[in-house]
């Protein structure tokens, strides 16, 4: 029995591309899921997945509303696909909490669904903590399952072996690639000292998707959000000489067009995990 059900109109799709992002792992500062939500804005839910099977509710608890002492509503974590028509083609945006269980089965089901819907390309979205300053445009590196899939201005990286804990989204992408659908991925490098939402990372990913697919989605309120966050971060840095000195070091050693090596990325992820464990 499939882990999904089709809830909406998936007929007559125009050059459909499936874009995926899960919150949790490889979603630093929520940049990837913010991008996916932005891409799906105004779209209709066309596919939903069985949350009871995929999620551990004790690690990701549903949200309960209690009004005047009465239990009124539970919002269950949902994994779903939304359909949005943009620039003459359909975006099928997979979004939700990273599933706890049945990763391989989920990948097989999504690959089967992608074939059924005539999906011509898969795009993964991610964000990782990196030694990059918030005063620069957010760097984005790309991955591709086949040569020639990336455009000339999309730099594939990192080079060499990078061995890190896998995300559920990566297992889904490999299943989709395994049935012959070309797959690309775009990963924003978010300053590792940013803990909350980081709109600049979402802007970088939205623009990367627009360039890659040749569509215009628009940025909506993201630039205003990014400016407000930039101002808050600037004030925090200015108030602490040690932080200001550290930021200057980052600015001097991290040119905007540089893609980090696999070793550098692994070190940043390990540093992030150590901090997360300590917290």
Band of residue 279 on the pLDDT scale cut at 50, 70, 90: very low
In the three-class reduction of DSSP (H, G, I as helix; E, B as strand; rest coil), residue 218 is classed as coil
pTM for this structure?
A: 0.86
Residue spans of the domains in the chain: they are 16-278
Mean model confidence pLDDT for the chain: 89
- CATH code matching the domain that covers 16-278, chosen among 2.102.10.10, 3.40.50.1220, 3.40.1000.10, 3.40.50.10900: 3.40.50.10900
Q: Where are the alpha helices (DSSP H) in 129-194?
A: 168-178
Is residue 192 pLDDT above 70, yes or no? yes
Band of residue 169 on the pLDDT scale cut at 50, 70, 90: very high
Per-position DSSP letters for 43-68, written without gaps between them: PEEEEEE-HHHH--TTTSPPEEEEET
Cα–Cα distance between 136 and 272 in angstroms, integer?
A: 20
User: Which pLDDT value is given to residue 273?
Assistant: 56
């Amino acid at each position: 029995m499939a882990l999904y059900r089709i809830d909406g109109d998936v007929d007559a799709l125009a050059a459909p591309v499936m874009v995926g992002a899960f919150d949790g792992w490889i979603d630093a500062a929520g940049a990837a899921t913010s991008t996916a939500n932005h891409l799906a804005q105004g779209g209709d839910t066309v596919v939903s997945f069985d949350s009871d099977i995929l999620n551990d509710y004790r690690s990701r608890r549903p949200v309960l509303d209690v009004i005047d002492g009465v239990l009124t509503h539970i919002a269950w974590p949902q994994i779903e696909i939304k359909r949005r028509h943009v620039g003459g083609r359909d975006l099928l945006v997979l979004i939700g909490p990273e599933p706890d269980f049945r990763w391989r089965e989920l990948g097989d089901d999504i690959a089967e669904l992608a074939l059924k819907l005539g999906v011509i390309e898969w795009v993964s979205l991610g964000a990782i903590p990196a030694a990059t300053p918030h005063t620069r445009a957010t760097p984005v590196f790309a991955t591709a399952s086949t040569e020639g899939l990336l455009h000339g201005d999309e730099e594939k990286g990192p080079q060499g072996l990078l061995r890190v804990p896998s995300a559920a989204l990566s297992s889904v992408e490999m299943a989709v690639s395994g049935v012959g659908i070309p797959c690309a991925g775009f990963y924003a490098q978010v300053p590792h000292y940013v803990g909350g939402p980081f709109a600049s990372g979402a802007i970088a990913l939205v623009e990367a998707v627009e360039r890659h697919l040749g569509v215009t989605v628009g940025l909506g309120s993201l630039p205003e959000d990014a400016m407000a966050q930039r101002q808050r971060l600037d004030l925090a840095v200015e108030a602490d000489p040690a932080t200001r000195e550290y930021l200057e070091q980052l600015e001097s050693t991290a040119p905007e067009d540089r893609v980090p090596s696999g070793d550098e990325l692994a070190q940043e992820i390990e540093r992030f995990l150590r901090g997360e464990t300590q917290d």
